[in-house]
Amino acid sequence: MTGPSPTLPLPPVPGPLPAATPLVVGLSGGLDSTVLLHRLAGDPGLRARGLRAIHVDHGLHPDSAAWGRACARECAALGIALDIVAVDARDAGGLGPEGAARRARHAAFERLLGDDEVLVLAHHLDDQAETFLLRALRASGPDGLAAMRPWRRFGRAWLWRPLLGLPRDALRAYAQAHGLTWIEDPGNDDDRFDRNFLRAQVLPLLRGRWPHASAALARSAALGADAAELLHAGDVQALARVATADPRCLSVSALCALSRARRQRVLRHWTGGLGLPPLPAQGVSRIEHDLLGARPDADAAFAWHGARVRRWRDLLHADVERVTLPADWSVAWDGRAPLPLPTGGTLALEGADALPGTCRVHARRGGERIHRAGRAHSQALKQVLQALEVPPWVRAGLPMVSDDTGTVLAAGDLVLAARLDAWLREHDARLRWTDPGDAPPPALADACNPNCD
């Protein structure tokens, strides 16, 4: 006589969310996510919230389309709606194959998730142990050693990992007892990938000596998460002390007044909260040595993965690398419609139908002079911008407005010639230059540390 089929205990859906908040399973078709989908689909209360699935086809294996069809059959049998999305998971940013696939997958999830929906992923206790070891071998600090969080914000949605407390063996026993079928990805057997090597070679050896090794490592990750939460609260307070009116800028002198350990955490928290790629291992040290230790007039910078931190005077500025106006770019503009710029920004006339004459908008060429209101003579534009304390990274992207004789009328909307200034005042109009960097970044206090997971 056989006993009852094993079940998988699930914690309640965390967070202060309404009971109607939908759950969305990240379904790869492998053992873990197949078990998760089956378990959630068998719970009337969870189904009542709204339950669907997303399968991401990375296109990295010849059979990947067949895996999507297998997921579709499984969802149809359970009466679950499924979205299948193909992504480009090629490594174009030095992340490595696993990192590139993860980034593409998470970007797809974020596109398909609605406000406050809950993405449910099937990571389990053994996955957590592997992640902890990987982070330790990469010399991660408390944030990295906290490994995967069971519950956190995920863009405009949430991410929930209800199986983190259960070992892989429990999932396999459940699948076998319920007669589930799943996909075996041959890539999981490739020991060239770090996680696969840990799973196949290292953890079995550790468990041979310490049977509870995976549980102990996962417990260490949980303790690390507690410590990281406390440190995070201090980081938020310290960041507020060094912040400026522009979230992309910090005060160098205030940063230097912090302890070295706190300063390093604040720098990572700051860049992560701006949505920039995680700083590399030596990134903070480079910023401290090359930028904080630089002369205020050195215009020092540190770049990584399409992002850049610059030092200018008492400011540290962080942003993605931005395209400057091509040196030979020049177009006619009459102000009747906003002018798209090659940098992604716009130049617009507000409050009037058109400029008094057709102008040319072009990149800075150097040596420009401008005659401002209240001045008897023209001034070098470079000196004007320096006197206004316009940072070098802003100066580099300024669109110039000149009349048909080549006389400079405006530098963006920051500096106006007397003639254009008088005309705008007379017509109650204004010139507005918007830059791609003007968009507000995510709230820094709520940003997840990029080392989280």
Give the Cα separation of 177 and 309 in Å (integer): 55
Give the Cα separation of 173 and 75 in Å (integer): 21
CA angle 254, 260, 266 (to 5 degrees): 65
How buried is 388 (Cβ within 10 angstroms: 0-12 exposed, 13-18 middle, 19+ buried)?
exposed
Determine if residue 91 is labeled as part of a ligand binding site: no
Determine if residue 33 is labeled as part of a ligand binding site: yes
Q: DSSP assignment of 401-428, as one string?
A: EE-TT--EEEETTTEE-HHHHHHHHHTT
Determine if residue 385 is labeled as part of a ligand binding site: no
The answer to whether residues 193 and 100 touch, using CB atoms and an 8 Å cutoff, is no
Determine if residue 119 is labeled as part of a ligand binding site: no
Determine if residue 28 is labeled as part of a ligand binding site: yes
Give the Cα separation of 263 and 296 in Å (integer): 19
Phi, psi values for residue 415, rounded to 5°: -135, 125
Give the Cα separation of 29 and 32 in Å (integer): 8
The answer to whether residues 378 and 369 touch, using CB atoms and an 8 Å cutoff, is yes
Determine if residue 345 is labeled as part of a ligand binding site: no
Give the Cα separation of 148 and 125 in Å (integer): 10
Q: How many CA atoms lie within 13 A of 29 on its CB side?
A: 23
Residue with tokens 């770090």: 194
User: In the chain, how many H helices and how many E strands?
Assistant: 16, 20
Which residues is 81 bridged to in the sheet? 52
Is residue 47 helix, strand or coil? helix
Which residues is 86 bridged to in the sheet? 57
Query: What six digits make up the tokens of 155?
Result: 């863009």
Numbered residues of the known binding site for ATP? 28-33
The annotation places the binding site at 28-33
